[in-house]
Structure 1
């Protein structure tokens, strides 16, 4: 079975530029997904820090959460 990577030896770690339309599309999608994942991770970290800071100050909401009504 032929090898899928076209480089050999020391330079195997370097990524090659995509050459077909499918590879260019895949590379673009990968880049978009990575940037969106980083954005989500940053937002999650900010929200988590804000929640911890809010809980750390002892602030409590004005009304306790309402229980769900059961149908009887």
Structure 2
């Protein structure tokens, strides 16, 4: 089975630059997807922190108010 990494030789940590148009496109897509994933993770963390802060600042009892009985 062929190796998935494109490096050869002694230094396997150094990746080779993409050479074909398809490889360049794949590299660009990978970079864009990683950037967008980081942005989503940052947004998720900020929203989670805001939600926790809002819950902490809210009333001590988070139970919904009891409905009034219409027949009484």
Query: TM-score under structure 2 normalisation?
Result: 0.72
CA distance in 2, matches of 1:40, 1:2: 34
Which runs of structure 2 are paired with 1:2-17 in the superposition (5 Å)? 3=3, 5-9=6-10, 11-17=11-17
Which runs of structure 2 are paired with 1:1-72 in the superposition (5 Å)? 3=3, 5-9=6-10, 11-59=11-59
- 1:34 and 1:59, CA in 2 relative to 1: closer, same or farther beyond 3 A? farther
Tell me, yes or no, if the aligned pair for 2:7 and 2:14 is still in contact at 8 Å.
Answer: no
Give the paired residue count: 60
Structure having the larger proportion of residues in helix: 1
CA distance in 2, matches of 1:18, 1:45: 34
Aligned position for 1:70: none
RMSD between aligned residues:
2.0
Q: How far apart are residue 6 of structure 1 and its match?
A: 3.7
| Higher CA-based Rg | 2
Structure 1: unaligned runs, 5 residues or longer: 65-72
CA distance in 2, matches of 1:47, 1:35: 18
Structure 2: unaligned runs, 5 residues or longer: 65-72
